[in-house]
């Protein structure tokens, strides 16, 4: 199983095993809070080396099909936790990434080979936006997807109730771990609000190490939540077509005489 997916699924559980880069990352994960994935282009990894050691995973963005660029970056991440984000990913590319040590892959549904879903060597994360609706959510629930990357159209901070409602609406459509893309540091109050609506991780730019550091500090300061909310009642239901419906025995039959 993908280590990153396993990490997301254990947010708010007791003492997960650290799976990131350096000691600083392990110390921050000891309290078990939201994960941070730092994103960068493969060519920017060298400059972002220090920041990469403070996050839980590195997410390489790739817009081309050149395997050499990713292979070079992968060699620098050997032994660490990393994934790749691509707009259109072929099955052959996915298999090559898995063989190179890639733990998870983030992809857009359009343009990505369906054969990728049959590869079991890494976590599969599909991107969604504010447009996600119940029909699309049902479709996602019916295929082997492990998590969701949610990219809101606009995210003004500090969060308003309206913004939080919009996030909660999208989050409530699928019973999968959600990570959310953010473009700036998140304060403690907003971190708590995102955690409370079920966001398990954040995706942040490695070129902004100060934002990552302040967000990580805010995450580390979060108190452990006493009760993890049960979201099953708010999620898109999965009902088998051939599942029989149970009748209330106390309800009289139409033919019963009174």
Place of tokens 């660029």: 69
Of 37-41, 132-136, 166-170, 254-258, the poorest mean pLDDT is in 254-258
pLDDT confidence of residue 30:
42
180: pLDDT strictly greater than 90 = yes
Query: Given pLDDT bands bounded at 50, 70 and 90, which one contains residue 36?
Result: very high
211: pLDDT strictly greater than 50 = yes
Contact 231, 175 (CB under 8 A): yes
- How far apart, in whole angstroms, are the C-alpha atoms of residue 37 and residue 206? 9
In sequence order, the 6+-apart residues with CB closer than 8 A to the CB of 235 are 172, 173, 174, 175
Q: What is the helix (H) or strand (E) element at residue 214, kind and residue range?
A: helix 209-220
249: pLDDT strictly greater than 80 = no
Residue 52: which of 207, 180, 218 has the closest Cα?
A: 207
The torsion of the CA quartet 225, 211, 100, 199, rounded to 10 degrees, works out to 30
Longest dimension (CA), the chain: 83
What percentage of the chain exceeds 70 in pLDDT?
77
191: pLDDT strictly greater than 50 = yes
The domain spans of the chain are 3-234
- How far apart, in whole angstroms, are the C-alpha atoms of residue 33 and residue 224? 8
- Pairing type for strands 178-181 and 35-40 reads unpaired
CATH topology for the 3-234 domain: TIM Barrel (3.20.20)
245: pLDDT strictly greater than 70 = no
pLDDT confidence of residue 8:
94
In sequence order, the 6+-apart residues with CB closer than 8 A to the CB of 185 are 208, 210, 211, 212, 214, 215, 218
**Cα 45 versus chain centre, distance:** 21
What percentage of the chain exceeds 90 in pLDDT?
53
127 token code pair: 């991107």
SS3 content of the chain, % helix, strand, coil (to 5): 35, 15, 50
Query: Given pLDDT bands bounded at 50, 70 and 90, which one contains residue 88?
Result: confident
Residue 20: which of 39, 34, 7 has the closest Cα?
A: 7
pLDDT confidence of residue 258:
42
130: pLDDT strictly greater than 70 = yes
Bigger pLDDT: 89 or 234? 89
Residue 113: which of 137, 138, 92 has the closest Cα?
A: 92
Query: Given pLDDT bands bounded at 50, 70 and 90, which one contains residue 156?
Result: confident
Q: What is the helix (H) or strand (E) element at residue 5, kind and residue range?
A: helix 3-9
Phi/psi for 127 (5° steps) reads: -90, 140
């Amino acid at each position: 199983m993908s280590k990153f997916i396993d990490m997301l699924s254990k947010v708010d559980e007791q003492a997960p095993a650290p799976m990131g880069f350096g000691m600083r990352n392990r110390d921050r994960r000891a309290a078990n809070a939201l994960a941070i994935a730092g994103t960068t282009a493969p060519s920017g990894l060298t400059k972002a080396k220090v920041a990469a050691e403070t996050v839980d995973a590195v997410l390489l963005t790739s817009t081309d099909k050149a395997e050499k660029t990713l292979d070079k970056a992968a060699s620098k991440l050997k032994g660490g936790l990393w994934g790749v984000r691509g707009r259109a990913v072929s099955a052959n590319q996915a298999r090559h990434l898995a063989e190179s040590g890639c733990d998870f892959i983030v992809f857009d549904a359009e343009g990505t080979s369906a054969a990728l879903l049959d590869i079991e060597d890494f976590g599969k994360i599909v991107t969604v936006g504010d447009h996600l609706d119940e029909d699309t959510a049902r479709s996602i629930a019916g295929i082997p997807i492990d998590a969701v990357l949610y990219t809101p159209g606009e995210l003004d901070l500090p969060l308003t109730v309206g913004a939080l409602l919009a996030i909660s609406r999208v989050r409530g459509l699928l019973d999968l771990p959600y990570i959310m893309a953010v473009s700036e540091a998140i304060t403690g109050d907003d971190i708590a609000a995102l955690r409370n609506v079920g966001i398990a991780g954040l995706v942040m730019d490695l070129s902004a190490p100060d934002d990552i550091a302040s967000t990580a500090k805010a995450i580390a300061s979060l108190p452990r939540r006493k009760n993890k909310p049960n979201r099953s009642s708010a999620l898109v239901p999965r009902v088998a077509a051939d599942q029989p419906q149970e009748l209330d025995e106390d309800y009289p039959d139409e033919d019963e005489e009174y």
